[in-house]
Amino acid sequence: MPRRYGLALAAVATTTTITGSVTDAAADPHPVVWSPPGAPEPRPRTVAHAAAALNAKVATVAHRGASAYAPENTLAAFRLAKTKHADVFELDVQETKDHKLVILHDSTLARTTNVETVYPGKKPWKVSSLTLAQVKKLDAGSWYSAKYKGQRVPTLAETLSAMRGSGLGLLLEIKNPASYPGIEGRIAAELKRSPSWLRADPNERRLAVQSFDWTSVNRFHALLPAVPTAVLGTPAVADLPKVAKYADQVNPPYKGLTASYVKKVHAAHMDVLTWTLNDRASVQKAVKLGVDGIISNKPDIVYGVVRSREAV
């Protein structure tokens, strides 16, 4: 069975390792789990993870923070994600010219900062062309609202520190890794400097690392194999056993996603988190497909649907 990052919810004190259900574990200390031909070996799970799976809750993931209500990929958006009932906040990591890890979605700073005004001669304003000191002079909030004037582009280190103890998990996307050779190692090193994010805690989701570049995901997995990883996109069904050797999640776009595909990903011992859903009707349909998590700019919408489903 998979290492169900998305379902690590239950507040269970014990962390006894099992490979079957809670009932099986109690009856047989060495349960045997059948796997289909070609599937990877089952990854260890804790009683907490298994107990959570029995009462599966769909994870609410705040896309770039609560980005419908605050400037994306800022500390304000990440903190607001908690208020909007997210379980996890998602962010994008890129690099500055001096190889500092910053939180930014686009390769250029033009859309989400005042870089065109501050550095008019540096078009096209790629983050990789500016040092961290230069990036820190930019306003990353005013483009969204005057209320957020003075928000800065945060570093990964600042974000890990600010959100430590928030109770939220982190879904970290490695953005454009081909543009930043070695970025996987620098992210791994930064995470090691914030060990609380690497700690296995049965009471809360902690961390997963994803990318559209599956080779980058594999490289990161080799560096920190205990950290759950995810591929963004929709791997062919025939490739799922291969992907499962280094990934714990397949995170596909919602468009075209089917219940059959979700079941096949689960059969390959991985979770499914889909994106980006911002209306109640779409969220309801996604939940019926059997997904493990929904990534949204409006986490409160997802929370409302999930909560009403649990109340039935």
Write out the catalytic residue numbers: 63, 105
Helix (H, G, I), strand (E, B) or coil at 275: strand
Question: Is the CA virtual torsion 245, 251, 253, 255 positive or negative?
Answer: positive
Q: How far is CA 79 from the centre of its chain?
A: 16
| Separation CA 266–CA 184 (nearest Å) | 27
Alpha-carbon separation of residue 232 from 48, 79, 248 (angstroms): 26, 24, 11
Identify which of 197, 213, 217 has the alpha carbon closest to the alpha carbon of residue 205.
197
φ, ψ of residue 271 to 5 degrees: the values are: -90, 165
b/e string for 135-148 if b means 16 or more Cβ within 10 A? bbebbbbbbbeeeb
Residues in Cβ contact with 80 at an 8 Å cutoff, skipping those fewer than 6 apart: 65, 66, 69, 70
| Separation CA 302–CA 86 (nearest Å) | 8
| Separation CA 91–CA 174 (nearest Å) | 9
| Separation CA 283–CA 115 (nearest Å) | 36
| Separation CA 283–CA 263 (nearest Å) | 18
Residue 258: is it exposed, middle or buried by C-beta count within 10 angstroms (0-12/13-18/19+)? exposed
| Separation CA 276–CA 63 (nearest Å) | 8
